[in-house]
Chains A and B, each alone.
Chain A
Amino acid sequence: MPIEPTLFRLRVRYVKQGRLRYLGHLEVARTVERSVRRAGLPYAVTQGFSPHMRVAFTAALPVGTSSICEWYDLVLTEYVPADEALAGLVAATPADLAPRQAGYVDMRAETLGLLVTRQDYRIDLSLTGVRSAAELLPAARAALDGLIAEGTIRYLRGHKEKTLDLAALLTEAKLEARADDAGFVLELKTRSSNAGSLRPEILLSAWDARFGAGDSDEPIVSTGIPHLANFERAEVERIDQYGEDESGNRVDPL
């Protein structure tokens, strides 16, 4: 039996912002792998036919969504002090995907995929036309509350009709008028599991169709970045990702 070498699991938090928010998940993954190689870190590779870097990511972020809290676990064959590894990665990564935090977790610790079950979003919405967000707020809130009360959203993904289980996936939604009165800020706290996760775009499309310039019976179509009737711009940002213990207390990835 070959002796299993000592391995180390480095956990890294990184951002996805600016124009790089338009990258797809595979593009991000490829870029991260290349930055690990450029940083010269002693990464471990898988055994077998087609060896590749041992790195695992948190759930894919939709194209167009930015984030300040994406994570990956990278397996190293040698210990490199975490701050040194972080500095190397920062120097080798495009700024809009910059790593911000790094630390070691036990090789046997829960994987990111199992650990991270909570995602919080902040959505900045700019209204179309010259409309007052404060005036529109009651109607917008009523539409949102109505949607949440229904508990599910039916939408099309390709030709398949699917259902988003809001009751299970959405734990909190807070809508406020923006200080400049030209738009809203919507904050969502969501929960994900093997059964699924909440794509904020679908909720946005469904909500948008229910008030103001929306008012449409068209089915919600999930095709990536949505076109909305009430909003000129919708900037979705993932602002937090974490897990929960048995009693519902927050568990940070690091």
Chain B
Amino acid sequence: MRVAYENRFAEIEPLLAKVEKPSRYLNHEWGTRSHADADYRACLIYPDTYEVGLPNQGIAILYAALNQAAGISCERGYIPWVDMADAMRAAHVPLLSLEGAAPVASFDIVGFHIPHEMAVTNFLEGLDLAGIPLMAEDRGEDDPIVVAGGPSVYNPEPYAAFFDALLIGEGEESIVEVCERHRELRDAGASRAEILRGLAEVPGTYVPSLYEVSHEEPCTRWGYTVPKPGSGAPEVIYKRVATNFGETDPLSQSIVPYTELVHDRLSVEVLRGCARGCRFCQAGITYRPVRERSADQVVSSVVQGLARTGYDEVSLTSLSTTDHSACKEILSRLNRRLEGTGISVSVPSQRLDAFGVEMALAVAGEKKGGLTFAPEAGSQRLRDIINKNVTEEDLERAVRAGFEAGWHRVKLYFMMGLPGETDEDIVAIAELADRVLEIGREVLPKGQRGGLSVSVSVAVFIPKAWTPFQWCAQLDDDEVRRRQQLLIHSVRNKQVRVHYHDAATSLIEAVLSRGGRDLAPVILGAWQRGQRFDAWTEHFDLARWEEAARACGIDLREVAHETFPLEARLPWEHTSPGVSRGFLEREWRRSLEGKTTADCTRESCTGCGVCSTLDAQNELMGVRV
């Protein structure tokens, strides 16, 4: 018998007095959309705390889509913070959904979001709290179907063992199709195995149990994944692309929380995709093609969304909002509409040119926090290698314009460990930061120079699946630490502050980004040793991961630091964002030659293959500047 769907809030209520932030567990927020009387129930879980997960736009989109579908009710779940999780285990209370406070195990389908690789131990934490077997193969007829999807689904192999199905690509249509198919098979009395075979027929759905790992052809140590003979499953599962994105409802978000969130505001997705073609960037490939919403649609949905939610801030989200061909028009129209309301507009990050600063100025008003730019590499040579089509002059012009407009604080994002990087490139980061500071001193009047600050934030490059750098090794973590020190010692000015990412966390991220199915026992072992909330610095513990890997005979550094041969079949090539292998190889060769490649939304097609493979195309609202 499946666990009963019933409200069990009374069981967690006595625990609320003992935990920090009880409002994480209250539900009853404004704007929930589930309907208790539906006969098919889905629970979408974000693998982190409530305040990190609630603003997630992917979940908001799927939540709206499912609750609009006839006869389907969708609720949400989050991972209880460690204090609550321990209290729930001690009190024998299972993981509950939010809206109905019902056991997650009582739902027909449970969907996990995959925001990044470091969420992996929290999938297991969530499943365990819910009382659902951790491994898909151990689940029985009464257990829910457990699916997953999200930005980091493009190397699904490390987590394949935990999920019954993975949804590749944009989920707003496919999740509904998966649920409808499941309901149909459930109502027809199909067995779990039959249901899974049925789900594999829904385009974009990867059912790992129908596949096996082969080592026959040239491949990496992880092998490559092929359909089991006779399974009927497709050889390659292509990602889903939403039909007519520009005509879909931009207002997916409906829930207004009580708790203060990481991003506590209305979000409107103004465009999808980015074709600038940075060679390290996975999202730049996996969200193609580029599709813009019209200015009218954006403006009216912002106005409507603010009225509906009562937020006092709206963020125009996308991978590169200032690339929208009507960006200027949208911002000036919104500024006019929102004047005198105290409501502010924000744009996620600034494009590295004078236009970017102009747009930042358009939303900043009186309040000028910091300007954020991402040159990614310190030298022009390395920026060409990674195809960051930005010159030193672009940066100088942008920064100068920023200081002239009244900003005092500039934040610069870089990466370390990029292919072809030398010590000179590291020193160039310091020189660039010093140069930015000098420009500030030049532009700002004497009295204001005290507030001047330049901060440099350096992430560790992680080779990601489906990028031109997917064959590359990650830089050894000791070498990362040496280069971090080199950078710190190369900065001349005290007003330049340097922050860098933890090399150990990046090591695990690289392992999970590049490995195959054989990593499942390592992940399980890390969780069994106490790992959860790995994305939180205070909970990440490399030693436990190392121990878990050793127990499986795997050397984590060897995995992260291995270069894959170009001719090898890679562990993730059966789940594809539509880009052609030829394009990625060509981009890799061009990077070695320091040749850049243009942006197809500004110049002609670069032949990445996404449009033809997925039968989709760029949809722009005008000429991009």
Contact = CB atoms under 8 A, between A and B. Distances in A.
Contacts, number: 75
Interface string A212-254: 0000000000001101000000000000000000000000000
A23 B23 contact: yes
Nearest to B308: A38
Interface string B294-330: 0000000000001111111000000000000000000
B342 A34 contact: no
Contact of B23 (A27, A37, A224): A27
Nearest to B256: A34
B310 A27 contact: no
Given A24-B23, A45-B340, A50-B367, A94 B260 contact: no
B381 interface: no
B188 interface: no
A52 B258 contact: no
Contact of A38 (B23, B260, B310): B310
A63 B310 CA distance: 24
B310 A36 contact: yes
A37 B306 contact: yes
Contacts of B30: 31, 34-35, 38, 94
Contacts of B310: 33-38, 92
Interface in A33-70: 33-38, 40, 45-46, 49-53, 63-64
B28 A27 contact: no
B22 A22 contact: yes
A33 B9 contact: no
Q: Binding site of B, secondary structure by majority: helix, strand, loop or mixed?
A: loop
Contacts of B312: 33-34, 37, 52-53
A188 B28 CA distance: 31
Contacts of A37: 306-307, 310-312
Give the bracket for the number of chain B residues in contact with chain A: 20 to 34
A51 B342 contact: yes
A30 B260 contact: yes
A96 B307 contact: no
Contacts of A33: 310, 312
B22, B23, B310, B341: residue with the most chain A Cβ atoms closer than 10 Å? B310
A94 B340 contact: no
A68 B256 CA distance: 23
A94 B28 contact: yes
Nearest to B311: A34
A37 B296 CA distance: 22
Nearest to A232: B14
11 contacts: A18-B28, A24-B23, A31-B30, A33-B310, A34-B30, A34-B256, A35-B30, A38-B309, A53-B312, A94-B30, A224-B17
Interface of B: 9, 13, 16-17, 22-23, 26-30, 256, 258-260, 306-312, 340-342, 366-367
In the A-B complex, the 8 residue pairs with the smallest Cβ-Cβ separation, listed nearest first, are A34-B310, A225-B17, A37-B310, A38-B310, A45-B342, A51-B342, A22-B22, A27-B258
Interface of A: 18-20, 22-24, 26-28, 30-31, 33-38, 40, 45-46, 49-53, 63-64, 92, 94, 96, 224-225, 227
